[in-house]
Amino acid sequence: MAERWDALVIGGGFYGLYLAETLAARLPRVLLVERGPELMARASYANQARVHAGYHYPRSVLTAARSRANFPRFVDEFRPAVRSDFIKLYAVARRDSKVTAAQFVAAMRRVGAATERATPNERRLFDLDLIEDVFRVTEFAFDSAELKRLMAERIRRAGAVIRLNTPAEQVEPLPGGSIHVRLADAEVHAGMVVSCGYANTNAVGAASGLPVIPLKHELTEMALVEVPEGFRNVGVTVMDGPFFSCMPFPPQGLRSLSHVRYTPHGHWYDGLPGEGHLPADEVVATADKRTAFPHMARDAARYMPALAGCEYRGSLWEVKTVLPRSEADDSRPILFRPDHGLPNYHVVLGGKIDNVYDVADELTNHLGWAAPARVAA
């Protein structure tokens, strides 16, 4: 006899955990399956840790505006996981930037994001022949290790069940609208399935003969570095083109260094005409993972000479998955595909951590539920 669950969530990243908690507020039997040995060990760990406040998206008003709306909510709800003990500077490059400093300020004003001119000392960190202007903004970082601890505790309180080392493999419809799910080691029946596999979004659907959702995947490298003294309380992003960011990476007490040109080590698409689904893990397993840190550091040091003193401590390799239309304007729309190919099989993808609120709202609206009351962490 197959086990019966009201809802099954595929994926133990931040999205899977948050949505499992949302479902468990209404449903007594919620199961979350994670194929790996740990929760929040994939993209929800290996990312730049930026709590987006809109500044990163001067070319996408909608993404910037949603970040403005979600930023205070995330900071409030996950306060113990939020790091605000650094100064955040956004600099605009004189050449090759898709926005000028005036356009950056105007775009931010449109979404209500304050920009303050950086102090002379802060400006001196940059080569002002290459940088048009520098702004001090309010943007924070999150500690994914702390976020994981908070979410694991919330899931425990909500009463959802978590199974690690449990890949979901296939889904098929059952009479009456529930879904038969084949797990690697069991067969279960669920009233609904919410798929939160991120880079692996299409895998279960493709194995079940469901339509492949068009997605773009990028193999990414973020270098983890020790920054020189005098730089330790600063986070920097140079806009808006082939430049770099250097942000706190709280789980390891280091900084991440990423570069628009050198962080991506290749990309591929799912669901383009004539193409199917390429499993992300296979691409990653066979990819050449020689670090691009020397290129990142050399280029970053042109704009901020002190960064020449960065010491390399390792790299985080992960797949970044976005909707193909994000290529044009670097936006981060969410994907919400209710009843994708079969009733009650819902597929979600959030381009960034704070989008989880928009995804949770879509899901609860679809189910006809009022938003659940949440207890701040």
Ligand X SMILES: Cc1cc2nc3c(=O)[nH]c(=O)nc-3n(C[C@H](O)[C@H](O)[C@H](O)COP(=O)(O)OP(=O)(O)OC[C@H]3O[C@@H](n4cnc5c(N)ncnc54)[C@H](O)[C@@H]3O)c2cc1C
Region of 38-46, 130-138, 157-165, 285-293 interacting with ligand X (CB under 6 A): 38-46
**Using rule CB under 6 A, residue 23 touches ligand X:** no
Nearest residue (beta carbon) to ligand X: 13
Q: Which residue number, 108 or 347, has a Cβ lying nearer to ligand X?
A: 347
Residue 13 engages ligand X in binding (rule: CB under 6 A):
yes
Residue 155 near ligand X by CB under 6 A: no
Residues 6+ apart with CB under 8 A from 222: 46, 47, 48, 249, 256, 257, 258, 263, 315, 316, 318
Among 36, 242, 251, 343, binds ligand X (CB under 6 A): 36
Please give the span between the terminal C-alpha atoms of the chain, in angstroms, as a whole number: 39
- Quick one: which of 100, 103, 99, 131 has its CA closest to 118? 131
Of 132 and 155, nearer to ligand X (C-beta) is 155
| From candidates 21, 132, 240, 318, binder to ligand X by CB under 6 A | 318
CB of 11 to ligand X, least distance (A): 3
Q: How far is the CB of 303 from ligand X (least distance, A)?
A: 20
Q: Considering the complex, what minimum distance in angstroms separates the CB of residue 135 from ligand X?
A: 18
**Minimum distance from CB of 34 to ligand X (Å)?**
5
Show the tokens assigned to 32. 């979350």
| Binding letters toward ligand X, positions 213-252, x by CB under 6 A | -------x-x------------------------------
Note whether 279 binds ligand X by CB under 6 A: no
Q: How many residues bind ligand X (CB under 6 A)?
A: 38
Which one, of 191, 189, 146, 135, lies nearest residue 23 by Cα?
Answer: 191
Tell me which of 5, 8, 16, 202 binds ligand X, using CB under 6 A.
16
- Residues with Cβ < 8 Å from 55, sequence gap 6 or more? 64, 90, 108, 113, 115, 137, 139, 237
3-state secondary structure of 292: coil
Q: Is there binding between residue 333 and ligand X (CB under 6 A)?
A: no
d(CA 316, CA 210): 32
User: Do 234 and 200 touch, CB atoms closer than 8 A?
Assistant: no
- Choose which of 34, 143, 270, 299 interacts with ligand X (CB under 6 A): 34
d(CA 103, CA 115): 12
The correct pick among 197, 205, 235, 333 for binding ligand X (CB under 6 A) is 197
Query: Residue 50 interacts with ligand X (CB under 6 A)?
Result: yes
**66 and 355 Cβ atoms separated by less than 8 Å:** yes
351 near ligand X, judged by CB under 6 A: yes
Among the listed residues 9, 12, 57, 262, the single contact to ligand X using CB under 6 A: 12
Cα 301 from Cα 364, distance rounded (Å):
47
> In this chain, which of 196, 224, 236, 310 binds ligand X, going by CB under 6 A?
196
Q: Kindly tell me which of 41 and 150 has the beta carbon lying closer to ligand X.
A: 41
Nearest CA to 149 out of 10, 17, 50 is that of 17
Residue the block writes with tokens 């949302």? 22
35 binding ligand X? (CB under 6 A) = yes
Distance of alpha carbon 179 from alpha carbon 182, whole angstroms: 10
CB of 124 to ligand X, least distance (A): 27
Exposure string over 59-97, b if 16+ CB within 10 A, otherwise e = bbeebbbbbbebbeebbebbeebbbeebebbbbbbeeeb
Q: Is 88 in the site for ligand X (CB under 6 A)?
A: no
What phi and psi, each to the nearest 5 degrees, are found at residue 158?
-75, -20
Q: How far is the CB of 358 from ligand X (least distance, A)?
A: 12
Query: Can residue 167 be called a binding residue for ligand X (CB under 6 A)?
Result: yes
User: Helix axis angle, 101-110 relative to 61-77, nearest 10°?
Assistant: 60
Among 48, 97, 315, 364, binds ligand X (CB under 6 A): 48
Give CA–CA dist 357/377, Å, rounded.
15
CB-wise, 34 or 132, nearer to ligand X?
A: 34
The site for ligand X (CB under 6 A) is made up of 10-16, 33-36, 40-44, 47-50, 52, 167-168, 196-198, 200, 203-204, 220, 222, 318, 320, 350-354
